[in-house]
Structure 1
Amino acid sequence: MPSKSKLSSSRSDRDGGRNVLVWCGAVICTIITLAIIITGIVTFIGYLVIHPRVPYVSVVYAHLDRMEIDHYQGALGMQVNIVIRANNGNHMAHAGFSHSNYTLSLDGKDIALLQEPDFEVSKNSSVDFTFVAQASPVPLDPEQADEVETGLQKDLITFNLKGGARVRWRVDRLGSFRFSSRLDCRLQFHASNLSYVPSSCTSKAK
């Protein structure tokens, strides 16, 4: 049988090996924890310094060029100019806009589809796009025709503009960002002189 001294030495070796492993594990965990903390601090400081902003789109101007109502056939013909501005408030990164699609409708009736090819906006800058929405006489159901007639009487014609674009930009070491910029607003015009009634129409990020 092994002597007590040999057993004691064997146990001591095993305990020593376990202690080394535990010590090494503790050191590794400490290093990982410190690395995570430092990365978080650097990212936070970088955010405060760079202060990335979500690019967005907004309607800055519109004008109802013409509007023709055929009361006998219940049809609408019109042309609307809409200026949509793509804004990039990041002073250290360009922003790319893609899949820009907007639908102009009247009381649930789609009238025109507005589209723009992919484009980029320079850092801390903006780009304006003028869309010309034209509609040949569009047939209206009785409810829609009544809505137009009511608008004429109130001197206020209301269109709905819905759509958006996909936005992407990269801010140095903070990485890449991607959002969907959604636009959903009402465009109102005076029926008497076809002028635009200014209102806030800015996209929301999703």
Structure 2
Amino acid sequence: MLSKSKFTTGQERRTHPLLWCAAIICTILTIAVIIAGIVTFVGYLVIHPRVPYVSVIDAHLDQMQFDYAGILEIQVTIVIRAQNGNGKAHASFSRSGYTLSFNGEDVARLVAPPFEVSKNSSVNFNYVVQSSPIPLDPEQSEDVDMALKRDLITFDLKGSARVRWRVGRLGSTSFLCRLACQLRFHPLNGTYIPSRCTSKAK
């Protein structure tokens, strides 16, 4: 019966020093990337509770005309505030746009050019918008008629603004401020009924 034997030929190969150096450098770089990611994440957590936001702080129904043919025309002033409560970073706002509608019918479009808000500061935008004549269907006309009788009319305001932070060496963080709320007015004198209308970050 033949027995199996193990034979080794030649000398065992040793790892080249350059390979060890490359492995050490890769390990150091990996650790550095992980640490940088942790620092960025911690920095974001520190400033996240005070993210910038937009909100309606005042409004007024300047003019409202509604005739028997079911044509609605309005002029409204809406004051939107962009607030940056963070003391460590400026905030850049862009693509700011909001649509005012009544019963699903767009009444006016509110837009603003790109702008910046300094640390712990805010910027107010006074939007004075006048709608073109809006033809309403019988159901919408009835709703307007009821609103005039009750001295209470409601508009929907929806839109968003893109916000970007830049915090030193941590880079930048961007998100979308979505605004969706209702604005209520007394049409007889145009006064605004204050309500919470503040954006949510996403």
TM-score range, shorter chain: 0.7 to 0.9
- Give the superposition deviation at 1:43: 3.2
Gaps of 5+ in 1: 1-6
Within 5 Å, give how 1:148-187 maps onto structure 2.
148-187=144-183
Instruction: Point out 4+ residue stretches in structure 1 off by more than 6 angstroms.
Output: none
Whether 2:120 is the aligned partner of 1:92: answer: no
> 1: distance between equivalents of 2:37 and 2:117?
30
In 2: Cα distance, 1:93 partner to 1:17 partner: 50
Higher helix proportion: 1
Structure 1 segment 16-165 matched on structure 2, within 5 A: 16-17=14-15, 27-28=24-25, 30-47=27-44, 51-52=47-48, 53-70=50-67, 72-165=68-161
1:178 Cα deviation after fit: 2.0
**TM-score w.r.t. length of structure 1:** 0.80
Instruction: Tell me the distance in 1 between the aligned counterparts of 2:132 and 2:28.
Output: 69
Q: Secondary structure at the match of 1:113?
A: strand
The amino acid of 1:114's aligned partner reads L
- 1:39 is displaced (CA, Å) by 2.6
1:11 matches 2:11: yes
CA distance in 1, matches of 2:38, 2:55: 35
Distance 2:178 2:44 in 1: 25
List runs of 5+ in structure 2 lacking aligned partners.
Answer: 1-7
Aligned to 2:5: none
Deviations 1:6-56 (A, max 9, x none): x66x323x1x337x68865764564345324433443355446x5254322
Other structure's SS at 2:31 match: helix
What letter is aligned with 1:39? Answer: A
Aligned-pair identity (%)? 62
Q: TM-score, normalised by structure 2?
A: 0.82
Range 38-47 or range 195-204, more displaced: 38-47
2:191 aligned partner? 195
> How large is the RMSD of aligned CA atoms in angstroms?
2.5
